[in-house]
A and B are shown apart, each in its own frame.
Chain A
Amino acid sequence: GAVVSQHPSRVICKSGTSVKIECRSLDFQATTMFWYRQFPKQSLMLMATSNEGSKATYEQGVEKDKFLINHASLTLSTLTVTSAHPEDSSFYICSAAKGTGGSETQYFGPGTRLLVL
């Protein structure tokens, strides 16, 4: 199997605080993990690509200082939303890629719903 978990599944925080979301590949090593954001009734938007041991690659328009990504090991990537504001409220989904190169399947986590008050 290929299971990806996210923690927490749901978080509510006050404006101005920081929130960390973890993404783990439970039964495989993932050299590459991806972070997506999904707005209500819309598709997933890729925020950044995270490679183990190196800096993340951010998509255009995504603030790297606001959305800090750390890929410390082959099974864990974290997304920290710094100084969160209500407009950061969204559904954040990570995925992890098995293998290297080609069109290997990504396995998606169950998502984290963030609500900033």
Chain B
Amino acid sequence: GNSVTQMEGPVTLSEEAFLTINCTYTATGYPSLFWYVQYPGEGLQLLLKATKADDKGSNKGFEATYRKETTSFHLEKGSVQVSDSAVYFCALVTGNQFYFGTGTSLTVIP
């Protein structure tokens, strides 16, 4: 079957710290992988995506590389800001169906 496993939060970091949020997946076929961000009280916003193995998605300083050999799509950012505080969801899509992880809450403190 298809599923996504994310590291559990919450994660609290100081400003300018390095961020890693782990995401692994199981899938039949060749899924596309996504990271979405949800700010308090809002819907999901696409952060980045990768559609095939070894692709790297990047946006706003965040990066994630599609690793087929380890079935992973870890999210990284070199220097987080207070404005990055949000919940981050890893997701895979195969066909039209999305499978979301449970989300990881990130709080960045000044």
Contacts and interface: CB of A to CB of B under 8 A. Distances in A.
A93 B97 CA distance: 15
A46 B98 CA distance: 8
B89 A43 contact: yes
B61 interface: no
B102 A42 contact: yes
Contacts of B32: 103, 105
Contacts of B89: 43-44
A105 B49 contact: yes
Contacts of A109: 43
Chain B interface main SS type = strand
A103 B96 CA distance: 6
Contacts, number: 54
Contacts of A42: 102-103
Contact of B96 (A43, A97, A107, A111): A97
Contacts of A107: 46
Given A44-B100, A108-B36, A103 B51 contact: yes
Most B Cβ at <10 Å: residue of A103, A106, A111: A103
A78 interface: no
Nearest to B98: A106
Interface of B: 31-32, 34, 36, 41-46, 49, 51, 89, 93-98, 100-103, 105
